[in-house]
Amino acid sequence: MLQTLFEMPSPVMPEGFNYYPSFISQDEEQQLLGCIEKSDLRNMRFHQYEAKRKVISYGKGWSFTEQQLKQGDPIPAAFDFLVEKIATKLSIDKQLIVQFLITQYPVGSVINWHRDAPPFDTIAGVSLLTDCKFKLRPHDKEKQTRSATINLNVERCSLYTMQGIAKNEWQHSTALNDKIRYSLTFRTLKNHGP
Protein backbone atom coordinates (compact mmCIF):
# COMPACT_ATOMS: atom_id res chain seq x y z
CA MET A 1 0.00 0.00 0.00
CA LEU A 2 1.33 3.42 -0.98
CA GLN A 3 1.63 5.86 1.91
CA THR A 4 2.66 9.48 1.95
CA LEU A 5 4.52 11.27 4.71
CA PHE A 6 2.53 14.45 4.24
CA GLU A 7 -1.14 15.10 3.67
CA MET A 8 -2.02 16.87 0.43
CA PRO A 9 -2.92 20.49 1.18
CA SER A 10 -6.53 21.52 0.67
CA PRO A 11 -7.03 23.68 -2.42
CA VAL A 12 -7.32 27.43 -1.87
CA MET A 13 -10.92 28.19 -2.72
CA PRO A 14 -12.21 31.50 -4.10
CA GLU A 15 -13.57 34.03 -1.64
CA GLY A 16 -17.21 33.22 -0.85
CA PHE A 17 -16.85 29.44 -1.24
CA ASN A 18 -17.19 27.35 1.92
CA TYR A 19 -17.17 23.60 2.43
CA TYR A 20 -18.51 21.63 5.40
CA PRO A 21 -17.85 17.85 5.34
CA SER A 22 -20.23 15.50 7.21
CA PHE A 23 -22.89 18.22 7.35
CA ILE A 24 -25.70 15.67 7.65
CA SER A 25 -25.68 12.21 9.23
CA GLN A 26 -26.26 8.95 7.36
CA ASP A 27 -29.66 8.68 9.08
CA GLU A 28 -30.58 12.15 7.81
CA GLU A 29 -29.39 11.14 4.34
CA GLN A 30 -31.72 8.11 4.40
CA GLN A 31 -34.58 10.32 5.57
CA LEU A 32 -33.96 12.70 2.65
CA LEU A 33 -33.73 9.86 0.13
CA GLY A 34 -37.10 8.60 1.36
CA CYS A 35 -38.60 12.05 0.73
CA ILE A 36 -37.00 12.22 -2.74
CA GLU A 37 -38.55 8.87 -3.71
CA LYS A 38 -41.97 10.54 -3.37
CA SER A 39 -40.96 13.42 -5.68
CA ASP A 40 -41.86 13.54 -9.38
CA LEU A 41 -38.45 14.19 -10.95
CA ARG A 42 -38.38 14.89 -14.69
CA ASN A 43 -35.64 15.37 -17.29
CA MET A 44 -34.34 18.93 -17.17
CA ARG A 45 -34.96 21.04 -20.26
CA PHE A 46 -32.52 23.81 -21.15
CA HIS A 47 -33.89 25.81 -24.10
CA GLN A 48 -34.53 23.03 -26.68
CA TYR A 49 -32.12 20.55 -25.09
CA GLU A 50 -33.18 17.77 -22.71
CA ALA A 51 -30.47 16.90 -20.21
CA LYS A 52 -29.76 13.45 -18.76
CA ARG A 53 -30.30 14.71 -15.23
CA LYS A 54 -33.75 14.73 -13.64
CA VAL A 55 -35.00 17.59 -11.50
CA ILE A 56 -37.86 19.02 -9.50
CA SER A 57 -37.90 22.61 -8.29
CA TYR A 58 -39.80 24.24 -5.44
CA GLY A 59 -40.22 27.89 -4.55
CA LYS A 60 -38.84 30.52 -6.92
CA GLY A 61 -37.21 28.90 -9.96
CA TRP A 62 -35.31 30.45 -12.84
CA SER A 63 -36.79 30.03 -16.32
CA PHE A 64 -33.92 29.73 -18.81
CA THR A 65 -36.24 30.24 -21.77
CA GLU A 66 -37.95 33.35 -20.37
CA GLN A 67 -34.93 34.61 -18.38
CA GLN A 68 -37.03 35.38 -15.31
CA LEU A 69 -38.06 34.02 -11.93
CA LYS A 70 -41.18 31.86 -11.74
CA GLN A 71 -43.10 30.96 -8.60
CA GLY A 72 -43.53 27.23 -8.11
CA ASP A 73 -44.95 24.96 -5.44
CA PRO A 74 -43.78 25.61 -1.85
CA ILE A 75 -40.86 23.65 -0.43
CA PRO A 76 -42.32 20.42 1.05
CA ALA A 77 -42.45 20.34 4.85
CA ALA A 78 -40.51 17.05 4.84
CA PHE A 79 -37.36 19.06 3.98
CA ASP A 80 -37.87 21.69 6.72
CA PHE A 81 -35.20 20.21 8.98
CA LEU A 82 -32.57 20.59 6.25
CA VAL A 83 -33.71 24.14 5.38
CA GLU A 84 -33.39 25.07 9.06
CA LYS A 85 -29.98 23.41 9.37
CA ILE A 86 -28.63 25.27 6.31
CA ALA A 87 -30.15 28.60 7.44
CA THR A 88 -28.45 28.16 10.81
CA LYS A 89 -25.09 27.46 9.12
CA LEU A 90 -25.53 30.57 6.94
CA SER A 91 -26.72 32.66 9.94
CA ILE A 92 -29.88 33.73 8.11
CA ASP A 93 -33.63 33.40 8.65
CA LYS A 94 -34.91 30.22 6.98
CA GLN A 95 -37.56 32.29 5.13
CA LEU A 96 -34.73 33.75 3.03
CA ILE A 97 -34.20 30.35 1.40
CA VAL A 98 -36.63 30.81 -1.48
CA GLN A 99 -35.67 28.02 -3.86
CA PHE A 100 -35.02 24.30 -3.52
CA LEU A 101 -33.92 22.09 -6.38
CA ILE A 102 -33.58 18.29 -6.28
CA THR A 103 -31.36 16.91 -9.04
CA GLN A 104 -30.73 13.25 -9.83
CA TYR A 105 -27.48 12.72 -11.75
CA PRO A 106 -27.59 9.29 -13.44
CA VAL A 107 -24.40 7.35 -14.17
CA GLY A 108 -22.37 9.09 -16.87
CA SER A 109 -23.86 12.56 -16.41
CA VAL A 110 -22.06 15.85 -15.84
CA ILE A 111 -22.93 19.49 -15.40
CA ASN A 112 -20.96 21.73 -17.72
CA TRP A 113 -19.19 24.99 -16.89
CA HIS A 114 -21.64 27.69 -15.83
CA ARG A 115 -22.43 30.43 -13.34
CA ASP A 116 -25.60 30.35 -11.30
CA ALA A 117 -28.68 32.34 -12.37
CA PRO A 118 -28.26 36.11 -11.79
CA PRO A 119 -31.15 36.78 -9.34
CA PHE A 120 -29.80 34.42 -6.71
CA ASP A 121 -27.35 35.40 -3.97
CA THR A 122 -26.25 32.38 -1.94
CA ILE A 123 -26.22 28.81 -3.21
CA ALA A 124 -26.02 25.87 -0.80
CA GLY A 125 -25.65 22.29 -2.01
CA VAL A 126 -25.81 18.90 -0.27
CA SER A 127 -24.61 15.74 -2.06
CA LEU A 128 -26.34 12.39 -1.44
CA LEU A 129 -25.41 8.75 -2.21
CA THR A 130 -21.89 9.39 -3.49
CA ASP A 131 -19.06 11.92 -3.64
CA CYS A 132 -18.81 14.47 -6.45
CA LYS A 133 -15.77 15.82 -8.28
CA PHE A 134 -16.47 19.56 -8.23
CA LYS A 135 -14.44 21.98 -10.36
CA LEU A 136 -14.15 25.77 -10.33
CA ARG A 137 -12.45 28.20 -12.72
CA PRO A 138 -12.48 31.98 -13.24
CA HIS A 139 -15.30 33.29 -15.45
CA ASP A 140 -12.90 35.71 -17.16
CA LYS A 141 -11.66 33.78 -20.23
CA GLU A 142 -8.19 35.34 -19.98
CA LYS A 143 -7.78 33.80 -16.52
CA GLN A 144 -8.98 30.32 -17.55
CA THR A 145 -5.64 28.53 -17.44
CA ARG A 146 -5.20 24.90 -16.45
CA SER A 147 -3.47 25.95 -13.23
CA ALA A 148 -6.38 28.27 -12.36
CA THR A 149 -8.88 25.38 -12.26
CA ILE A 150 -9.59 24.15 -8.74
CA ASN A 151 -10.69 20.55 -8.10
CA LEU A 152 -12.52 19.61 -4.92
CA ASN A 153 -13.93 16.26 -3.85
CA VAL A 154 -17.36 17.15 -2.47
CA GLU A 155 -18.09 14.26 -0.15
CA ARG A 156 -21.40 12.53 0.30
CA CYS A 157 -23.42 14.19 3.12
CA SER A 158 -21.32 17.37 2.89
CA LEU A 159 -22.46 20.96 2.32
CA TYR A 160 -20.89 23.59 0.09
CA THR A 161 -21.96 27.22 -0.15
CA MET A 162 -21.17 29.88 -2.77
CA GLN A 163 -21.82 33.60 -2.69
CA GLY A 164 -20.16 36.85 -3.73
CA ILE A 165 -16.96 36.39 -5.74
CA ALA A 166 -17.23 32.58 -5.84
CA LYS A 167 -20.72 32.77 -7.35
CA ASN A 168 -20.35 35.81 -9.59
CA GLU A 169 -16.75 35.71 -10.82
CA TRP A 170 -16.19 31.95 -11.00
CA GLN A 171 -17.78 29.13 -12.99
CA HIS A 172 -18.31 25.62 -11.69
CA SER A 173 -18.88 22.17 -13.18
CA THR A 174 -18.85 18.52 -12.15
CA ALA A 175 -16.86 15.62 -13.58
CA LEU A 176 -18.40 12.47 -15.07
CA ASN A 177 -19.92 10.36 -12.32
CA ASP A 178 -19.88 6.56 -12.16
CA LYS A 179 -22.73 6.22 -9.63
CA ILE A 180 -26.16 7.79 -9.23
CA ARG A 181 -25.93 10.98 -7.19
CA TYR A 182 -28.52 13.38 -5.82
CA SER A 183 -27.83 17.06 -5.29
CA LEU A 184 -30.06 19.18 -3.07
CA THR A 185 -29.58 22.86 -3.91
CA PHE A 186 -30.97 25.78 -1.92
CA ARG A 187 -30.85 29.44 -2.97
CA THR A 188 -31.48 32.89 -1.52
CA LEU A 189 -32.31 35.96 -3.59
CA LYS A 190 -30.11 39.02 -4.02
CA ASN A 191 -31.22 41.91 -1.81
CA HIS A 192 -33.59 39.43 -0.11
CA GLY A 193 -36.34 40.73 -2.39
CA PRO A 194 -39.79 39.14 -2.82
pLDDT greater than 60 at residue 2: no
Q: Of residues 29 and 4, which shows the higher confidence score?
A: 29
pLDDT at 9 exceeding the cut of 70: no
pLDDT of residue 191: 74
Q: Transcribe 149-186 into DSSP letters.
A: -EEEEE-TT-EEEE-HHHHHSEEEEE---SS-EEEEEE
Predicted local confidence at residue 1, as pLDDT? 45
> Do residues 60 and 71 lie in contact, with contact meaning Cβ atoms separated by under 8 Å?
yes
pLDDT one-digit tens code per residue, 113-172: 999 888 899 999 999 999 999 999 999 999 999 889 999 999 999 999 999 999 999 999
Q: Please state, in angstroms and rounded to a whole number, the distance separating the CA atoms of residues 159 and 165.
A: 18
| Domain residue spans of the chain | 17-192
For 115-154, give one letter per residue: b (16+ CB within 10 A) or e: ebbebbbbbbbbbbbeebebbbbbeeeeeeeeeeebebeb
The predicted-structure confidence for 52-85, as pLDDT tens digits, reads as follows 789 999 998 776 666 678 788 999 999 999 999 9
Q: Say how far apart CA 35 and CA 139 lie, in whole Å.
A: 35
Angle 42-45-50 (CA atoms, 0-180°, nearest 5)? 90
pLDDT band at 8 (very low <50, low <70, confident <90, very high): low
pLDDT digits (tens, 9 = 90+) for 164-189: 999 999 999 999 889 999 999 999 99
Instruction: Decide if domain 17-192 falls under CATH 2.60.40.1930.
Output: no
- pLDDT at residue 65, as a whole number: 65
User: Is it the case that residue 108 has pLDDT exceeding 80?
Assistant: yes
Give the per-residue pLDDT at 184. 98
pLDDT band at 193 (very low <50, low <70, confident <90, very high): very low
Q: For the chain, how many residues are written?
A: 194
130 secondary structure, DSSP code: S
Q: Is the dihedral of CA 67, 69, 74, 76 positive or negative?
A: positive
Range from 8-22, 92-106, 111-125, 162-176 carrying the lowest mean pLDDT: 8-22
